[in-house]
Amino acid sequence: AQRVTQPEKLLSVFKGAPVELKCNYSYSGSPELFWYVQYSRQRLQLLLRHISRESIKGFTADLNKGETSFHLKKPFAQEEDSAMYYCALSEGGSTLGRLYFGRGTQLTVWP
Amino acid sequence: DAGVIQSPRHEVTEMGQEVTLRCKPISGHNSLFWYRQTMMRGLELLIYFNNNVPIDDSGMPEDRFSAKMPNASFSTLKIQPSEPRDSAVYFCASSIGGVGKRNEKLFFGSGTQLSVL
Residue B49 pLDDT > 60, yes or no?
Answer: yes
Length of chain B: 117
Interface contact A104-B50, CB threshold 8 A:
no
pLDDT tens sequence across A16-61: 999 999 999 998 777 888 999 999 988 999 999 887 778 889 999 9
Interface contact B105-A104, CB threshold 8 A:
no
Quick one: pLDDT at residue A94? 45
- The DSSP symbol for A56 reads B
Pairing of strands B31-38, B42-50: antiparallel
Quick one: pLDDT at residue B69? 97
Quick one: pLDDT at residue B61? 86
Interface contact B103-A45, CB threshold 8 A:
no
Average pLDDT over all residues of chain B:
91
For chain A, percent helix, then strand, then coil, each to nearest 5? 5, 45, 50
pLDDT band at A96, cuts 50/70/90? low
pLDDT tens sequence across B7-29: 999 999 999 999 999 999 999 99
In chain A, residues 75-94 whose CB comes closer than 8 Å to chain B: 86, 90-94
pLDDT band at A91, cuts 50/70/90? confident
Interface probe for A, chosen from B9, B101, B104, B107 (most Cβ of A below 10 Å), is B104
Residue A72 pLDDT > 50, yes or no?
Answer: yes
Amino acid at B106: L
Interface contact B42-A36, CB threshold 8 A:
no
pLDDT tens sequence across B71-91: 999 999 999 999 999 999 999
Distance, first Cα to last Cα, chain A: 38
Greatest mean pLDDT among A61-65, B44-48, B65-69: B65-69
Average pLDDT over all residues of chain A:
89
Interface contact A96-B48, CB threshold 8 A:
yes
> Would you call the peptide bond into B54 cis, given omega within 30 degrees of 0 as the criterion?
no
User: From the CA of A48, how many Å to the nearest CA of chain B?
Assistant: 10
User: What is the mean pLDDT of the segment spanning A71-94?
Assistant: 89
Distance CA B62, CA B58 (A): 10
Distance CA B98, CA A35 (A): 20
Greatest mean pLDDT among A27-31, A83-87, B60-64: A83-87
Between A98 and B102, the higher pLDDT residue: A98
